[in-house]
Structure 1
Amino acid sequence: MRQFPAFFKLEGARTVVFGSGIEAARKARLLVSAGADVLLVGATALTSDAPDVAGNVTLVPPSHAASALAGARLAIVAEDNPTAIALVRAAGVPLNVVDRPDQCDFTVPSIIDRGDVVVAIGTNGTSPVLAKALRTKIEALLPARLGDLAALAGRMREQVKAALPDFSARRRFWERVLTGRAADLAYAGDLEGAEAAMTADLSAPAGQGVVHIVGAGPGDPELLTLKALRLIQEADVVFHDRLVSGGILALIRRDADRVPVGKAKGNHSVPQEQIHELLIAAARAGKRVVRLKGGDPFVFGRGGEELDAVEAAGITAFVVPGISSALGCAASAGIPLTHRDHAQSLTLVTGHAKAGGVPDLDWQALAKRGQTVTVYMGVGTAATIADRLIEAGRGPEAPVAVIENGTLPTEKTVYGMLEELPRLIEVNGILGPALLIIGEVATPRARVSTPAATTTEAVPA
């Protein structure tokens, strides 16, 4: 470690910035955000890049630079100005020179600001671009309302200290509530509820857990939402579907319990009612529970049933949307689900009824041209779906596409016509999970695909 990281209180402290350009204005804004009094030397006006700090910055002519440095906590030279550097050195004020690490007493890190939570990333001034890239990665993992949670914890410190005088007991309390229900409520914007949950937890250490019903997206781990990634890495137990990819399951923390509750056609290894019971029991045991579902939990995922059951049991539940399989798989295959020339509407349907077989759909409406019909779970009923649509008036030559394992390295996309849909699936060995896309948009077009992906434009002879 070549530099010692530290955080300084600058509220009300005099700081001096030398420069008249955008970089000087940005440094002035940064110091103002920390509560500092900023004297900007050399600028006759703030640049348009920093109109929001105009009332918090005092403009100083270069002739008054020495007096401006008197009593200053720190100074930043944001221009090529050897005279300014010499003045700061003579005044004995800690100095930062932008893009000149060899001249710096301190460097300005790349900063993630979450209120009371601040993360600073430094590279000894050698690579600010790398620091910003790291900031982007770390920032993606931090909840937007993390600062609200930290502020709440700060307000409750004395109350917790009085209730739990033993240090170890306090530590266990904070470890529990800062990753438990109170944290979830704070992240959702319910600070009153979060405070009530923390207060209740003081007298009931083995508090009730919470359930997150989380969409895992179509399969590619990089298509997870940031919130989904955070939750599965914080969970104590994850109940996951069969359609959740191995790459996503690998992101679950090692000491969390993983419980497969997936269903396949004709094989409901864990009945839906039992899944409800498992979720409720785990939450009542004080665990952070994630119910991880492929795609979006509210699009043919039975997430609504699980939400109703969990809330009916008095358990706090949250829903995290995921990229629906229809959107993710179609995009991965380069198929636009809507198109001004071909499809002015999009209909999502299931190809599998609750009691099995083909659902009772409005086939006349689905057979109309100028729309895209996307069918989930339709591999086993493809023959009947094609027949019903053709009987309802859809032309047998209507384009169709079948996408198997969409967004994964094993993705396979095949194209054909509606009348040959069953044979298209059979000849190409489509087993699922797969998505059926019916409509004029389901036409092969030139694209760049990964080497592992397979594209077939017609039924092989």
Structure 2
Amino acid sequence: MKHLPLFFDLSGRTVVVVGQGAAAQRRAALARSAGAAVRRVESVGPGDLETAAAAFVATGDVERDTVAASAVRQGRVPVNVADRPALSDFIVPSIIDRNEVVIAVSTAGTSPTLATVLRARIEALLPERVGALANLAGSFRRQVNALITDPAPRRAFWRRLVEGPAGRLALAGDQAGARRAVLGDLDAARRGGRPAGIAHIVGAGPGDPDLLTLRAAQLLQEADAILHDHLVPQAVLDRARRDAELICVGKRKGHANRPQKDIEAEMIRRVRAGEIVVRLKAGDPFVFGRGGEEVEALRAAGLPVTVVPGVTAALGVAASIGIPLTHRRVASAVTFVSGHTAEGACQPAWPDLAGQGHTVAVYMGATEAASVRDRLLEAGASPATPVAIVENGTRPDERVSVGRLSDLARLAASHASRGGGGPSLIIVGEVAALADARQQHLAQVS
């Protein structure tokens, strides 16, 4: 390698910056971000380099840069000259800064653009809170090293802290939960027992696997077991680790369903056994997904859990067929409603939903289309209100039909007669008329 990568502690030390332009400003800001005291000068004079740990030269003029670099070297101070690697003792790499975690990318000055591109790709893969994870590990270092003296088990402990429940909780922003997880692992190490695993309640999005969040995709690769909804398509499950155990626990109308309490008990059993469990839910786990109940059950059992949001069906489907759920000219509000309301649950305020300028997205509503139509009409909605039914939204077999509210039941029946059985979403409101005509695979009902 042409340059030896080093990380230089500049905290409280002096860095000289020669020049006054934008390049000099950037280098001064960079030095300050590392805790240095910056001394700005136009040119290098007697005493300017006193106590200096490093110097940046960025005058923008080759002759002035050369003279300044020579003067700095004579003062035995390492120098970097902006955009002139031949005059520099060290170079400035592209930097990814996550507090305690710093990654530098260099092409030895040959292609700053390539270094910038590589930095962007690494940043896309690097969790935003990875610095918090480093801080967590640092806060337990003395305690772990004192308790686990054998190098091999100690390395295994640190690996689990980074990749296991504590690390995932830290990356999710739950610092208190992360510390509890580390303390639980330390207690297990004292007793010689097996530490608990972790559950992740993950949104799978509306169906297109490319709409998975980065964190969801990462967790699918880490999971020991994936308890998934029936509505999660195979294309999403194919993103899982090959040896992960896939367990369908989803509920289907007209089929024997696994009770919710049994699903929660299975998650608790597996997490207690040390497994990484992903509860994979179609759409977003907190939008008609019962994710809240599962979080409550896991917390009541004293087990670690995180929640990873997903693109909920209304957002994914609307984007797929070109319907803006709100539009400045026709809709200023949107409400998500379930077509199947649980017994004892609060009922939607249908008169409010029927008002003009309001978009209603009805989940699981295809089989209840007639009821939805009647309730909205009784609440005062116009029979001519545009509607759209989208089946298998965002997927290759997506089907769309559009029409009027008065025809909603007939639209739903048309889907059923064509073998429709996939997840469907109903959109009611003036915005439904804006559906992309190219996406309308079923005949419009006029």
- Is 2:268 the counterpart of 1:280? yes
State the partner residue of 1:124: 108
Matches within 5 A, 1:384-399: 384-399=371-386
SS at structure 2 position matched to 1:99: coil
- Is 2:83 the counterpart of 1:99? yes
Deviations 1:220-239 (A, max 9, x none): 44444444344444433322
Q: Matched residues in 2 for 1:444 and 1:237: separation?
A: 42
**8 Å contact from structure 1 (residues 416, 458) kept in 2:** no
TM-score normalised by length of structure 2: 0.85
CA 1:222 to 1:16, structure 2 compared with 1: closer, same or farther past 3 Å? farther
- Is 2:39 the counterpart of 1:58? yes
Matches within 5 A, 1:370-385: 370-385=357-372
Amino acid at match of 2:227: F
**8 Å contact from structure 2 (residues 202, 278) kept in 1:** yes
Q: Matched residues in 2 for 1:253 and 1:104: separation?
A: 47
Deviation at 1:280, TM superposition (A): 0.6
Amino acid at match of 2:431: V
Matches within 5 A, 1:7-22: 7-22=7-22
- Is 2:152 the counterpart of 1:168? yes
Deviation at 1:435, TM superposition (A): 1.0
Q: Matched residues in 1 for 2:16 and 2:398: separation?
A: 58
Mean alpha-carbon deviation: is it higher for 169-178 or for 129-138? 129-138
SS at structure 2 position matched to 1:443: helix
**8 Å contact from structure 2 (residues 181, 304) kept in 1:** no
State the partner residue of 1:45: none
Amino acid at match of 2:410: R
Deviation at 1:248, TM superposition (A): 3.8
**8 Å contact from structure 1 (residues 423, 459) kept in 2:** no
Amino acid at match of 2:108: N
CA 1:278 to 1:82, structure 2 compared with 1: closer, same or farther past 3 Å? same
Matches within 5 A, 1:193-272: 193-205=177-189, 206-268=194-256, 270-272=258-260
**Unpaired runs of at least 5, structure 1:** 37-55
Q: Matched residues in 2 for 1:226 and 1:13: separation?
A: 39
| Aligned residue among 414, 425, 442 for 1:435 | 425
CA 1:89 to 1:276, structure 2 compared with 1: closer, same or farther past 3 Å? same
CA 1:59 to 1:259, structure 2 compared with 1: closer, same or farther past 3 Å? same
- Is 2:293 the counterpart of 1:313? no
Q: Matched residues in 1 for 2:254 and 2:354: separation?
A: 29
- Is 2:329 the counterpart of 1:345? no
Q: Matched residues in 1 for 2:376 and 2:10: separation?
A: 70
CA 1:62 to 1:319, structure 2 compared with 1: closer, same or farther past 3 Å? same
Amino acid at match of 2:263: I
Deviations 1:405-437 (A, max 9, x none): 333444433321122223334446444322100
State the partner residue of 1:35: 35
Amino acid at match of 1:213: I
Amino acid at match of 1:397: A
Deviation at 1:266, TM superposition (A): 2.1
Deviation at 1:169, TM superposition (A): 0.8
Mean alpha-carbon deviation: is it higher for 110-119 or for 387-396? 387-396
State the partner residue of 1:53: none
CA 1:194 to 1:372, structure 2 compared with 1: closer, same or farther past 3 Å? closer
State the partner residue of 2:5: 5
Deviation at 1:376, TM superposition (A): 0.6
**8 Å contact from structure 2 (residues 388, 427) kept in 1:** yes
Q: Matched residues in 1 for 2:86 and 2:31: separation?
A: 22
Matches within 5 A, 1:63-142: 63-64=44-45, 67-69=47-49, 72-78=52-58, 79-80=60-61, 81-91=65-75, 93-142=77-126
Q: Matched residues in 2 for 1:118 and 1:302: separation?
A: 39
**Unpaired runs of at least 5, structure 2:** none
Identity level (%):
51
Amino acid at match of 2:226: V
Deviation at 1:29, TM superposition (A): 1.5
- Is 2:17 the counterpart of 1:24? no
Deviation at 1:106, TM superposition (A): 3.2
Q: Matched residues in 2 for 1:60 and 1:91: separation?
A: 15
**8 Å contact from structure 1 (residues 399, 439) kept in 2:** yes
Amino acid at match of 2:377: I
**8 Å contact from structure 1 (residues 399, 415) kept in 2:** yes
**8 Å contact from structure 1 (residues 239, 259) kept in 2:** yes
Amino acid at match of 2:82: V
CA 1:16 to 1:349, structure 2 compared with 1: closer, same or farther past 3 Å? same
CA 1:293 to 1:268, structure 2 compared with 1: closer, same or farther past 3 Å? farther
Equivalenced residues, count = 433
SS at structure 2 position matched to 1:395: coil
Q: Matched residues in 2 for 1:248 and 1:105: separation?
A: 50
**8 Å contact from structure 1 (residues 235, 256) kept in 2:** yes
Deviation at 1:275, TM superposition (A): 1.4
**8 Å contact from structure 1 (residues 427, 460) kept in 2:** no
| Aligned residue among 126, 140, 162 for 1:156 | 140
Give RMSD over aligned pairs. Answer: 3.1
Q: Matched residues in 2 for 1:103 and 1:254: separation?
A: 52
CA 1:77 to 1:233, structure 2 compared with 1: closer, same or farther past 3 Å? farther
SS at structure 2 position matched to 1:30: helix
Q: Matched residues in 1 for 2:114 and 2:399: separation?
A: 37
State the partner residue of 2:389: 402
**8 Å contact from structure 2 (residues 201, 281) kept in 1:** yes
**8 Å contact from structure 2 (residues 18, 41) kept in 1:** no
Q: Matched residues in 1 for 2:160 and 2:44: separation?
A: 57
**8 Å contact from structure 1 (residues 416, 457) kept in 2:** no
Q: Matched residues in 1 for 2:352 and 2:320: separation?
A: 27
Deviations 1:245-282 (A, max 9, x none): 44543443444433332333323554322211221111
Q: Matched residues in 2 for 1:192 and 1:373: separation?
A: 39
Q: Matched residues in 2 for 1:253 and 1:20: separation?
A: 53
Amino acid at match of 1:22: A
CA 1:63 to 1:6, structure 2 compared with 1: closer, same or farther past 3 Å? closer
SS at structure 1 position matched to 2:167: helix
Q: Matched residues in 1 for 2:188 and 2:252: separation?
A: 41
CA 1:138 to 1:248, structure 2 compared with 1: closer, same or farther past 3 Å? farther
**8 Å contact from structure 2 (residues 17, 41) kept in 1:** no
